Amino acid sequence: GGTDTAAAAAAEESGATANGAGGAELTPTSDDSKAAKKFHKRRPLDASRSYRDYYYETKLGWRPEDREYTLRNRRKHVRDYIEGLHWVLAYYHEGCQSWDWYFPHLYAPLSTDLVNLSEFYEEPTDGGGEEGEADEGFRSFPFTSEDPFPSLAQLLSVLPPQSAGLLPAPVGGLM
């Protein structure tokens, strides 16, 4: 009837079929219509617009219209991410290199932007090393080695005020 036609139209609009594998209903119901609307709202509306543009605009506020600014920031973002990978690798192999270093972005770059990383490598001066040697051509990222915050200062910076009772009385009063 008319209800089946409406369900099929809704399924076609959402990219689903009215009855999928095993006869399971894939059309939005009243229970999941909010989720379907949210998905359609978040999905890029312009098919010519790339997911990359959509991601960087919604997550970092980089407008695709300002191409030069976006490309420059994207490379800096990748460089910061590579620096973070370097910090983690050094942390596990040599201990904490810096107590002050942090990744300055809320989101990682897309993996599709982790290309052409040769700018992060120095040109080999002697034709490279022996097989099995570590790649020493990777540019080092200088991390400043500061003393860590005292443990009570760390707790003061992360605990909510409701947790003041968990700290020694003189320190808990600072919250």
CB 56 within 8 A of CB 78: no
Number of domains the chain is built from: 3
Residues 54 and 17 in one domain: no
Whether residue 114 is predicted with pLDDT greater than 90 in this model: the reply is yes
Whats the size of the chain, residue-wise? 175
Count CB neighbours of 16 within 10 A: 16
Mean of per-residue pLDDT scores for the chain: 73
The pTM score is 0.56
Q: What is the pLDDT of residues 161-175, one digit of tens each?
A: 898 888 888 888 888
Q: Residue 37 has which token pair?
A: 């609307």
CB 56 within 8 A of CB 76: no
Residues 113 and 54 in one domain: yes
Q: In this structure, is residue 78 part of a structural domain? A: yes
CB 76 within 8 A of CB 82: no
Mean pLDDT of 128-148: 61
- Rounded Cα gap, residues 142 and 153, in angstroms: 26
